[in-house]
Amino acid sequence: MAVTSGRQFVVNGETMITAKGGEHLSGGPLGYLTELGLAVDKVVIRPRYYHVGVQLDDFGPEAFADVIANLIDCRIHATLIHYDRKAIDTCIAESFGGGFLPDEDSLGTPRYAGIMLGGYKDYHASGWHFTSLNLLSPQLQKPYHFPSVYLTGPPLEIPLSTTVTALKCEWQAIQYRPPPTTASGRAPFEELTSQNLPLWTRTAQSG
């Protein structure tokens, strides 16, 4: 029987990064689906898989008898060179729990230690400080959509000089669990579960 193959050279194409934040950003960048920018080089996605080995005495002290898969998170690395400055400032502010909007100068001032980025709020609700991130794929037509990411560092590098500033950014994506709601619209008390939470999907946000 003939062996068939779907092998090909894979070219993602010109990878624009778009993002959207919480409702409290309404009227400004990330209050709507915003073009963050284009990278100087590859945008790199690095999923991190967490596994715990199950050991049995019968299998000796090193080899695992089985492995438990404990979910994954993901790092997305991009060095942005043609980007929206205010959108990036807003990303940075949201990553430490939100700055004092709309005061642009205060976007570098965290409010206090201990802010939860999700805060048990729904995706894109007011006060939800994660960001959704999209990596577009105009040639391959298989974009990445990360529903809940935050800008992290290191590395977050902001070089200042006479040459064009190439911003080295790294986002962490997690499987954030928004609260389920009842018919009345109020969230019932419910234990957080990790089931069926997307870390990423392959359909870009459209709005």
Partner 1 sequence: MARAFNVPGECLVLVKGNVASSIPNLSELGLAEGPIQVVPRYVHSPIVLDAHGAVPVEHQMMLCDAVVSMRLINYDNTVLQACLQEAAAGVTAGTQPRAGTLMGGGVARFAAGNHYVGLNLTSPVMGFPYRFLYAMIDGQPQFPMGTEKSVVSLNWIAVAYMVDPWNGGLGALGSVVWDNTLDT
In the complex, which residues of this chain contact partner 1 (CB under 8 A)? 9, 11, 13-14, 16, 35, 38, 82, 136, 138, 161-164
Residue with smaller CB distance to partner 1, 38 or 187: 38
Residue with smaller CB distance to partner 1, 42 or 48: 42
Tokens of 31: 């209050």
Residue with smaller CB distance to partner 1, 14 or 190: 14
| Distance in angstroms (rounded) separating the CA atoms of residues 30 and 36 | 9
User: Least CB distance from residue 135 to partner 1, whole Å?
Assistant: 13
User: Least CB distance from residue 180 to partner 1, whole Å?
Assistant: 36
DSSP 8-state code for residue 41? S
User: Least CB distance from residue 65 to partner 1, whole Å?
Assistant: 35
Backbone angles phi, psi at 206, to 5 degrees: -110, -10
DSSP 8-state code for residue 44? E
User: Least CB distance from residue 40 to partner 1, whole Å?
Assistant: 11
User: Least CB distance from residue 33 to partner 1, whole Å?
Assistant: 14
Tokens of 1: 């029987």
User: Least CB distance from residue 37 to partner 1, whole Å?
Assistant: 9
| Distance in angstroms (rounded) separating the CA atoms of residues 92 and 154 | 13
Residue with smaller CB distance to partner 1, 95 or 137: 137
Distance of CA 143 to the CA centre of its chain: 14
Instruction: Answer for the pair 180, 110: CB distance below 8 angstroms, yes or no.
Output: no
Residue with smaller CB distance to partner 1, 14 or 157: 14
The residues facing 74 across adjacent strands are: 47, 173
Residue with smaller CB distance to partner 1, 12 or 152: 12
| Distance in angstroms (rounded) separating the CA atoms of residues 99 and 113 | 13
| Distance in angstroms (rounded) separating the CA atoms of residues 26 and 22 | 8
Tokens of 47: 């999923």
